[in-house]
Amino acid sequence: MEYAIEMLNITKEFPGIKANDQITLQVRQGEIHALLGENGAGKSTLMSILFGLYQPDEGMIKINGKEVQINDPNDANKYAIGMVHQHFKLVHNFTVLENIILGVEDTSMGFIKTADARKKVVALSEKYHLNVDPDAYIEDITVGMQQRVEILKMLFRDNDILIFDEPTAVLTPQEIDELMHIMKGLVKEGKSIIFITHKLNEIKAVADRCTILRKGKYIDTVDVASVSKEELSEKMVGRKVNFNVEKGEAHVGETVLKVENLTYHPKSGHKEVLKNISFEVKRGEIVCIAGIDGNGQSELVYALTGMVPTTSGHVYLNNEDITKMSIRHRSDHGMAHIPEDRHKHGLVLDYSLAENLILKSYYKPRFEKNGFIRFDEMNKYADYLIDKFDVRSGEGRKSIARGMSGGNQQKAIIAREVDSDSDLLIAVQPTRGLDVGAIEFIHSQLVAHRDENKAVLLVSLELDEVMNVSDRILVMYEGEIVANLDPKTIDVKELGLYMAGSKRGEGYE
């Protein structure tokens, strides 16, 4: 059997953790090979070894049957291996074209020649239906488009082996479908794809074979067509997973969050991003804001949490007008926030896990005395949260946040916010990038928060999550709320019509 890539008995240790323990991965030519595992199972580490970012402690790599040594990403490029990372590696104030040629520029007399590169980029973009504008600046395009730029970067370098690390974590359902088409097209052209994910639907949709890792060990390689989602998830997590969200009836109490005629017009923008928004969230209910990415959901959360000033309108928390209050005031008066961008707004990446867990309470008497942090209290509290929320990292509470896997960074934020016992929990994409076991746990935490007579405002792009977790759905389209729906009485297709703007709810015409 001719394999495009073989990674044989790969072992890699970091302080306190064996990230890869004797793992073997064999990818055939012209196949989409999925790599499945929980957060922290060792998927990204294994791919970083293949891409030359890490060196293995043991084991060997063969390409087309020959043993090779990959010392750095330039070597990987030499062997035609390309990678789209989970957090994109793009320069934001460069154009698309500049990002694509970065590192392989063609120069003459010290000047960069872009004419040939531009032709090649436009041709590739058309051939694979990527529709990318080479002159757009990265900071002005959507994450879905940024990802296409990453794919073009690989194609521009004539890579044959393409690694996609959790490529769908930041995409809308429509963009995910488009990406699947693109991947199938690439394989038809003879490329081989390694697809790292923990979304079982996607594996069933595009992968030919799938290798499963668990806690750094190799579990199995299966033909995707011959296994069920349930079997895959059991191999991945090591136990049966409940795909249904367990929740009883909602017992709705008084209003916690009241939003009145909220409008937001950014100083730099030409138009209002939020138009006259009004809604309420009551105790004992989970209200979900659904919509296609970029319809004002992020800005609404920024306005509610105090990250941007509103243009007009009011926000009330427990009957107090907090429209002009500071972020800390909101936090101290019963608002918790699981942010959309965990790196930018959720963590201080160079602080330890313990320090991140008290970011919102370090100044309170429990953790502070005479202006100094009480480290014993901090450590005790951190250990309690790490245990309760199963946050995994190499060195426990001493681990630096930057070195933790994305899913465990997310669990740390959720632990801190849910445990703050706030009247209102605003959760933005709380399960983005998490595996089925962790998703099941987080959904149960949201329901538990609701059942303690607290209010939950969930913002999600995952339609299954919207339908299964919420008690009420508010649909946002182009900065307005266009419908207030009961998930029990509508289906996903109908929800999609509201999200696309082709239908409006009663009272929103």
Q: Please say whether the beta carbons of 98 and 139 come within 8 A.
A: no
Task: Looking at the structure, tell me whether residues 291 and 322 fall in a common domain.
Answer: yes
Which among 172, 202, 237 is the end of a domain? 237
- Tell me: pLDDT of 2 over 90: no
Task: Looking at the structure, tell me whether residues 189 and 307 fall in a common domain.
Answer: no
What is the pairing mode between strands 286-290 and 472-477?
parallel
The pLDDT tens digits for 228-263 are 988 988 888 888 877 778 888 989 999 999 999 999
Is residue 490 one of the residues assigned to a domain? yes
Task: Looking at the structure, tell me whether residues 10 and 119 fall in a common domain.
Answer: yes
Please write down the HEC assignment for all residues of 455-483: EEEEEECCHHHHHHHCCEEEEEECCEEEE
Is residue 394 one of the residues assigned to a domain? no
Task: Looking at the structure, tell me whether residues 201 and 286 fall in a common domain.
Answer: no
Is residue 392 one of the residues assigned to a domain? no
Is residue 231 one of the residues assigned to a domain? yes
The domain containing residue 72 runs over which residues?
3-237
Is residue 284 one of the residues assigned to a domain? yes
Distance CA(156)–CA(462), nearest Å, equals: 32
Is residue 190 one of the residues assigned to a domain? yes
Task: Looking at the structure, tell me whether residues 178 and 309 fall in a common domain.
Answer: no
What is the pairing mode between strands 286-290 and 312-317?
unpaired
Q: What is the mean pLDDT of the chain?
A: 89
Task: Looking at the structure, tell me whether residues 300 and 448 fall in a common domain.
Answer: yes
Cβ neighbors of 509 (< 8 A, separation 6 or more) are: none
Q: What is the pLDDT of residue 170?
A: 65
Task: Looking at the structure, tell me whether residues 212 and 263 fall in a common domain.
Answer: no
Task: Looking at the structure, tell me whether residues 305 and 443 fall in a common domain.
Answer: yes
Q: What is the largest CA-CA distance in the chain?
A: 73
Higher local confidence (pLDDT), 90 or 27: 27
Question: What CATH number did the domain enclosing 265 receive?
Answer: 3.40.50.300
Distance CA(203)–CA(224), nearest Å, equals: 7
SS3 category, 88: coil
Distance CA(222)–CA(33), nearest Å, equals: 10
Task: Looking at the structure, tell me whether residues 229 and 296 fall in a common domain.
Answer: no
Percentage of the chain beyond pLDDT 70 is 98
Task: Looking at the structure, tell me whether residues 69 and 151 fall in a common domain.
Answer: yes
Task: Looking at the structure, tell me whether residues 160 and 219 fall in a common domain.
Answer: yes
Which among 185, 204, 237 is the end of a domain? 237
**Helices in 219-281 by DSSP H: which ranges?**
229-237
Q: Please say whether the beta carbons of 283 and 451 come within 8 A.
A: no
The pLDDT tens digits for 362-383 are 999 999 999 999 999 999 999 9
What value does the CA radius of gyration of the chain take, rounded to a whole number of Å? 24
Which among 202, 237, 272 is the end of a domain? 237
Higher local confidence (pLDDT), 277 or 115: 277
Distance CA(503)–CA(499), nearest Å, equals: 8
Q: Per DSSP, what are the bridge partners of residue 162?
A: 82, 193
Closest CA to 461 of 433, 489, 429: 429
When divided into structural domains, the chain yields a total of 2
Distance CA(418)–CA(446), nearest Å, equals: 8
Task: Looking at the structure, tell me whether residues 260 and 233 fall in a common domain.
Answer: no
Is residue 225 one of the residues assigned to a domain? yes
Is residue 350 one of the residues assigned to a domain? no
